[in-house]
Amino acid sequence: MPENTFKNNLSWTEAHDAYCYQHHIPPAAKTLWQWLIRLGEIASEIEPDLSEFNAWVAKNRGKPYAHNYLKKIFDILVSCRVLQVIKQYSWKITKLLVRPITWLNPPKKVREKKLYNHNFSYKKDPSNTQSAESVVGSSSNSSTHISTEEFQELEIRHEILKTCGEYQIYFDPNKPTTNQLFEFDIADVTEALKKHFVKRGDHEKYSSGKPMIPNPQGWLIRCLQNCYWEDQYFRVDQFSMFLKSLLPTNLPRDY
């Protein structure tokens, strides 16, 4: 289905795209927002199942999101006021309300009417005429350029590639697999690089000469998909306590 038709069916507008950009909503959260809009009318209560969304993602993307990342993008929409949670049944089933875009954007201030001066001279200022003509000319030339949303998306992608390059991880933007990287927000990419890539050895090598991370590009995408930097690491004593906490407190005598 063409993108324009898809957006029309979703009642998706440029205002939605602008809101995503202004609040740094990542592409995955944006896709979830669009999917939720399709479930019911705007500003009406719905009870979506995120596992159904993940199944739809797997069908179109090739594989589903990790559960912790799925919960994260849901929380992003809640924190950005896109969703209003009414009742939480479980981590994946919630009664909620999808707010219309008019509720999210602040109302425009009414412009104050200026008093009309009947003694005002209509004599044109040559400098103003010239500047106005230049603005008209520049606006007509800009119509041949890409749209604002496309330019903003390119800016985000450029920032992500630049951040990866600072850690000597270089992605080819023309490769289809690089699109998986662009599904994540710049904040997540930075977290993965700072908190996990460096911790796992960066570009260091073992004594045998083998790199600790043989394929940094593939490793980074897997790290983002599974939120490796949020994993909790246990010492031996902590792991023993964790195992004990999983067992029931009242065991039968013959256990």
Question: With the C-alpha atoms ordered 137, 138, 139, 145, is the resulting torsion angle positive or negative?
Answer: positive
| Amino acid at residue number 18 | A
- Over residues 44-53, the pLDDT tens digits come to 888 899 999 9
> Does 121 score more than 50 pLDDT?
no
- Whether residue 105 contacts residue 15, with contact meaning beta carbons closer than 8 Å, is answered with yes
pLDDT at 118: 41
> Does 239 score more than 70 pLDDT?
no
Indicate the pLDDT class of residue 149, thresholds 50, 70 and 90: confident
Give me the residue spans of the domains in the chain: 3-104, 148-230
pLDDT at 1: 42
Place of tokens 């009406």: 44
Q: Please list the residues that pair with 97 across neighbouring strands.
A: 45, 84
Indicate the pLDDT class of residue 237, thresholds 50, 70 and 90: low
From 238, 226, 173, select the one nearest 196 (Cα to Cα): 226
Rounded average pLDDT over 195-206: 82
- Whether residue 220 contacts residue 192, with contact meaning beta carbons closer than 8 Å, is answered with yes
The residues, any chain, with a CB within 8 Å of residue 13's CB and separated by 6 or more, are 7, 101
Q: What is the mean pLDDT of the chain?
A: 75
pLDDT at 36: 92
The residues, any chain, with a CB within 8 Å of residue 169's CB and separated by 6 or more, are 193, 197, 216, 217, 220
- Over residues 29-46, the pLDDT tens digits come to 999 999 998 887 677 888
pLDDT at 57: 92
pLDDT at 249: 62
pLDDT at 53: 94
Q: What share of the chain is helix, strand, coil (3-state, %, to 5)?
A: 55, 5, 40
Cα separation of 47 and 58, whole Å? 21
Cα separation of 218 and 213, whole Å? 10
Local structure of 74: helix, strand or coil: helix
**129 or 100, greater pLDDT:** 100
> Does 183 score more than 70 pLDDT?
yes
**Architecture in CATH for domain 3-104:** Orthogonal Bundle (1.10)
